Structure 1
Amino acid sequence: MTSQQQRKRGTKRKLSKRQRRIYMRRRIVVGIVLLLVLALVIFGLYSIGRGIGMVSKSIGHYEEQTVSRQQAETKKAKKTPKCGADDVKLDLTSGAQSVEVGGSLEFSATIAHEGRGQCLIDGSNTSRVLTITSGDDTIWRSDTCPADSRMLLMAQGDKDTQKIAWNANQTGSKCVSDDLLPKVDPGTYQAQLSLKDHPQVKSRKLPFVVD
């Protein structure tokens, strides 16, 4: 390499004052941008953490309120008396007055509260019982098979109506699968609701025909 080439190469490496100022300003700008980005990242992480904390606090507060409300309702339910014979009235209706042998008849069973204060009553099929009779013979009862209790908190004017299907069959003293029960013969039958805890509380008898 000649001395002239070396001088040219040295000239290329040497920066002028103006160029150095430009590079310095660029470095400062890049540094400021990096600081801003870092600040934004830190602020974002802080905001996310704070938001998660607030959500967790809100969820915890909601759960506490829910538990407190449930506990209050449980205490209230324990203090609420059971409905007596004078508190409720039973009503039974049917969409049809006849059913074919082997068919199905649907009844609407209604419990109406006629007392003044609130009271609890079990509205399940083992407490509010539908009975099918023929003369003096009991043909079918809805409480032959066990059922979970369905406690109702009732006030004056409240009504609860449930559908009960009878498949024109005859129950015995034991719980048997419905498809294994014998079918009833043609004839005239009656349906009636009653309360197991208060046998004197009954609906009117509803006559119908199996043909």
Structure 2
Amino acid sequence: MTGGSSSVKVGAKVAFTVTLTNTGKTDCTWDFAKLPVGVTVTSGSDRIWSSDDCAAWKPRGKTTVRAGKSYPYKVTWPGQRSTENSCKASTEELGAGYYVATAEIKGGAAKKFVMQLHQ
């Protein structure tokens, strides 16, 4: 997972690129319903935002990833807190500090991206 910048203004949107790589020797079809990939933003133990909170924030359907190739897709964190099972972000302003975005395949690998929010 990669992000646009490791230093971001409080409240700014942050786009992440999550890349699925097929290291096998044959093409594979990735079904996002069976193997969902989610991105969660935390600050310490505080869960701030998750793409799991809204189906529209996650990739859907299926994609074929050719052998030895990658499939990148973008996830955008609106720079705000989310609420479980709601596609609306909170209007609460987050504080300056360090935040960690974690992309994770259900039951599998995880990658982290650390960023600092500043005023």
TM-score range, shorter chain: 0.7 to 0.9
TM-score w.r.t. the length of structure 2 is: 0.82
Larger radius of gyration: 1
Q: Contact 2:40–2:47 at 8 Å: present in 1 too?
A: yes
Q: Report which of the two has the higher share of helix.
A: 1
Check conservation: 2:44, 2:99, Cα contact below 8 A: yes
Equivalent AA in structure 2 for residue 194 of structure 1: E
Please say if 1:187 is aligned against 2:97.
yes
> Which residue is equivalent to 2:113?
206
Which is further off, 92-101 or 113-122? 113-122
Partner of 1:110: 19
- What TM-score, normalized to structure 1? 0.49
Higher strand proportion (structure 1 or 2)? 2
> Within the alignment, does 1:138 sit opposite 2:47 as a pair?
yes
Higher relative contact order (CA 8 A, sep 6+): 2
Q: Against the structure 1 CA distance between its residues 115 and 181, is the aligned structure 2 distance closer, same or farther, given a 3 Å change threshold?
A: farther
- Which runs of no fewer than 5 residues in structure 2 stay unpaired? none
Change in Cα spacing, 1:181 to 1:123, as seen in structure 2 (3 Å) is farther
Write out aligned runs for 1:1-211 (5 A).
92-123=1-32, 127-147=36-56, 149-178=60-89, 180-196=90-106, 199-203=107-111, 205-211=112-118
1:151-207 CA distances to partner (integer Å, 9 max, x unpaired)?
Answer: 0122311211112211211112221323x44332211011111112xx22112x211
Identity of aligned residues (%): 26
Distance 1:194 1:181 in 2: 26
The CA distance in 2 between the partners of 1:160 and 1:182, in whole Å, is 34
What root-mean-square deviation, in Å, do the aligned CA atoms of Structure 1 and Structure 2 show? 2.1
Q: Which runs of 5+ in 1 are unaligned?
A: 1-91
Q: Aligned-pair distance for 1:123?
A: 4.9
